[in-house]
Structure 1
Amino acid sequence: MKKDIENRTDVSLLVHTFYNKIRADKEISPYFNELIQDWDSHLEKLTDFWETNLFGIRKFKGNPIEVHNKMDEHFNGQISANEFGIWLNYWFQTLDSLFEGENVEILKRRARKMGSFLYLNMFKNRTKNTETQTCLPTGRLKKLCKS
């Protein structure tokens, strides 16, 4: 019988195992491997994120929306819902292979919500950037352009 996620050590095992899978996946690994230079510090930060998310221990400092928007801009808006689906499937597989219990289900729900939220924010950011680039603030249309 597997145990539930109980502490930072468990969260760290989850994060490291999960990102080993992500880094090996031919379809989504380029999005990570191209931009992340220091994997040790990145994994530590993600362990902080999920520990904060699950246990309410305030260790994580960062802005996931901003980071994902910049990543999406770097790849010219090529990140799709498909990549988020792959990410989420690996998350579920890793959770189920290592643990079982209430905290596993909590992290599944939160990852699903977070993935949707981040993708929607990336899409919104793309739209904002497109409007800014294509808006010509002259004549009657000037008031339609955001300054």
Structure 2
Amino acid sequence: MTNPLAQFDVSRDEIARVVARFYARVRRDPVLGPVFAAHVRDWPAHEEKIARFWANAILRERVYDGNPMQVHKAAQDVQPEHFAVWLDLFDEVLAEELNEETARRWSALAHRIGRGFKVGLEMRAPPGSVPKLR
């Protein structure tokens, strides 16, 4: 492992490849494609930003600055049920692109993050109303 702080062994090139292949599938997906198309104007820039997110989360590189929860909450067409579709596509790409152990560990991390986003969106309230705090 090249980075002693990394959660598991994966390279920046592998991260970029997984992100690119994943978003190629997202663009073709009948559920997620239209949602992403409404928000992403520059796919290469988006993929680079998400690759930095994963480098931050996995490799502990401090190359990402953003608040993805706020971005997802602000996008009113992003719904909690989208995360199951997102995770299924992501798991397919991980299994095809990485060795089994790396895919398993990255998938576990993605599922933890996805659960957090899903809960955040479930608590999202319409503008001007009181949030649901259950």
Fold-level match, TM-score > 0.5?
Answer: yes
Structure 1 equivalent of residue 80 of structure 2: 80
TM-score by length of 1: 0.77
Shift, 1:127, TM fit: 6.7
CA distance in 2, matches of 1:30, 1:80: 16
Pairwise mapping of residues 60-79 of structure 1 onto structure 2 (< 5 A)?
60-71=64-75, 73=76, 75=77, 79=79
Structure 1 equivalent of residue 48 of structure 2: 44
Task: Give the % identical residues.
Answer: 23
Rg (Cα) greater in structure: 1
Structure 1 equivalent of residue 4 of structure 2: none
Structure 1 residue runs of 5 or longer lacking an equivalent are: 133-147
Structure 2 residue runs of 5 or longer lacking an equivalent are: 1-7
Name the structure, 1 or 2, with higher relative contact order (CA <8 Å, separation 6+).
Answer: 1
Calculate the aligned-residue CA RMSD, in Å. 2.0
User: Does the CA-based 8 Å contact 1:65-1:121 persist in structure 2?
Assistant: yes
Equivalenced residue count is 124
Structure 1 equivalent of residue 117 of structure 2: 118
Bigger helix share: 1
Question: Secondary structure at 1:36's aligned position in 2?
Answer: coil
